[in-house]
Structure 1
Amino acid sequence: MNPDIDIVKTEVLSDNWYVLRKVHYRMRKPDGSWVERTREAYDRGNGATILLYDLPRRTVLLTRQFRLPTYVNGNASGMLVETCAGLLDADKPEDAIRRETREETGYEIGEVRKVFEAYMSPGSVTEILHFFVAEYSAAERVSDGGGVEDEDIEVVEMGFDAALAAISSGAIRDGKTIMLLQYAALHLFGR
């Protein structure tokens, strides 16, 4: 660990949905002096996301679902168009994204390729998100998808060019989805 960081105390503020901690720490500044700081960190576990694509048809498979945090922050419908995603739980990222793909989209995909990983909101959330891409075809559809338990997920197939245009128009505003669509523009579909 970093010798210039000293965790003094950690308090659990909430463990209702996931865990919100208040962390008191000391940090050595470049001049050698120490400064004390307090920050909150939300730990929801690590996750994975995937862009499913069909090169010959130039389509991508996305999802649409209600996201309360966006609704309370000005998204009038609360609905977001997104890449399939979910938490790892105790699984390896590759296994977790296959599970999430089956649950959310109804597709049983084969090979997945990890393209990068990123901290999505490092100022307050601990999560590392693993990003994947995989091809899909109609033959791999094994169910309607829609998620599990209290998830109400709609499967959305759209043309790749329409998906890119949806970023500019604001119809797609989810960060992970934008990142994977941009990756696809550079590395999969060409322009």
Structure 2
Amino acid sequence: MDKISKIVVKPLEKSIYLKPYTMHFIQNGSKRTWDLLTIHDSVAIVIYNITRNVLILVKQFRPAVYYGSIPEEDRKIESEINVEKYPPEIGITIELCAGIVDKKLPLPEIAKEEILEECGYDVPIHNLEKIGSYCSGVGTSGSLQTAFYCEVTDDMKVSGGGGVDDEIIDVVEMTVDEIKKYVSQNNIKSPPSFMYGIYWFLHNRVK
């Protein structure tokens, strides 16, 4: 993971991924409003390497997680954050391989591309098993994420992964015992979709 420095938070200027709105509605006779975002739907993939019996995961710096880990009194807009007091490591998460649906392709095709780009495995489409779809970010976006399960072998590894363009992603491998220990912690730096996928795997694929 690259060294991160000179962190500054500014008001939202322009985004190709986020579109903020305020919804106005009447509920039980009372006027209400709710701030929300529209974002792309996404895919996430539970990847299990059957050659070495390890789960293939990704680790990356998430600015929102980092910012949310800083006490409110130290969240200064337009001021550089003290990275010695709040090291970037507090914003690093472990996640499933995942990506947004920004192409007019079947979801398994998008999942296949994400596995290749992020983790370096070139997998056949028929290796992908759909787990299910669910709402992601119900309080803000309500976007749809679809989860898949995929078994890979070392022979399918064609690159080191790490993402494309300006992505900075590290590939992480965990044994079943290691993942059980990780999800048993009190403070887990992973999203709910990760927990859903891992518990599905432990319930349906681990004997």
Normalising by structure 1, what TM-score? Answer: 0.83
Matched, 1:138 2:154: yes
CA distance in 2, matches of 1:83, 1:180: 8
Kindly report which structure 2 residues correspond to 1:104-183, keeping only aligned pairs within 5 A, or say none.
Answer: 104-110=118-124, 111-169=127-185, 170=187, 172-183=189-200
Structure 1 segments of 4+ aligned residues over 3 angstroms from their partners: none
Query: Is there any run of 5+ residues in structure 2 with no aligned partner, and where?
Result: 1-11, 71-86
Equivalence for 2:65: 70
Cα RMSD after superposing both structures: 2.0
Relative to total residues, which structure has the larger strand share, 1 or 2? 1
Matched, 1:50 2:66: no
Query: Is there any run of 5+ residues in structure 1 with no aligned partner, and where?
Result: 1-12
Deviation at 1:48, TM superposition (A): 0.4
Deviation at 1:180, TM superposition (A): 0.8
Amino acid at match of 1:104: E
Q: Any idea what the Cα deviations from partners look like across 1:52-73, whole Å, max 9, x if unmatched?
A: 0134643100001000111011
Q: Could you say what secondary structure the match of 2:184 adopts?
A: helix
Paired residues, number:
173
CA distance in 1, matches of 2:189, 2:112: 23
Amino acid at match of 2:21: R
Identical-residue share of aligned pairs (%):
24
Greater relative contact order (Cα 8 A, min sep 6): structure 1 or 2? Answer: 2
Deviation at 1:160, TM superposition (A): 1.6
Deviation at 1:15, TM superposition (A): 5.4
Equivalence for 1:85: 98
CA distance in 1, matches of 2:168, 2:129: 27
Matched, 1:24 2:37: no
Q: Any idea what the Cα deviations from partners look like across 1:81-134, whole Å, max 9, x if unmatched?
A: 111001011232211111111110111112201111111221111211101100
Normalising by structure 2, what TM-score? Answer: 0.77
Q: Could you say what secondary structure the match of 1:38 adopts?
A: strand
